[in-house]
Amino acid sequence: DAKTTQPPSMDCAEGRAANLPCNHSTISGNEYGYWYRQIHSQGPQYIIHGLKNNETNEMASLIITEDRKSSTLILPHATLRDTAVYYCIVTLNTGTASKLTFGTGTRLQVTL
């Protein structure tokens, strides 16, 4: 699986957009990018995933560069409840057997 690089921490004011970058320069053509987050002392939660096209769901948007070597997760209106560690994971989609390798992630702190 391709390795990812994320900034260790970021701050964001409540109500503003949080933009979390992820570099995955060694991603292969059939690897997807997945985003999960972990609120303190809880299990991780799926946010969004994509292959090459930008994606949007009720939680967030995922912007993928044309060369697919980096991506940005956007939380459009961050709230205090979005304070968490955000993990960018690149992996093949092999169905139920797909493993998720968690890196160090980005600790997002949303403040008043």
SS3 state at 85 = strand
Using CB under 8 A as the binding rule, whether residue 101 contacts another protein is answered as yes
Question: Is 100 a binder of another protein (CB under 8 A)?
Answer: yes
Residue 96 near another protein by CB under 8 A = yes
Taking residue 33's Cβ as centre, other Cβ atoms within 10 Å add up to: 25
Cα(25)–Cα(40) distance, integer angstroms:
29
Cα–Cα distance, 69 to 96 (Å, whole number): 25
Taking CB under 8 A as the binding criterion, the range among 9-17, 22-30, 43-51, 62-70 that sits at the site for another protein is 43-51
- 42 sits near another protein (criterion: CB under 8 A): yes
Q: With binding defined as CB under 8 A, does residue 104 bind another protein? A: yes
Radius of gyration of the chain (CA): 13
43 sits near another protein (criterion: CB under 8 A):
yes
Residues 75-94: x/- map of binding to another protein (CB under 8 A)? ------------x-x-x-x-
Beta strands across the sheet bearing 106-111? 9-13, 106-111, 84-92, 31-38, 45-50
Give the footprint of another protein on this chain (CB under 8 A).
32, 34, 38, 41-46, 49, 87, 89, 91, 93, 95-105
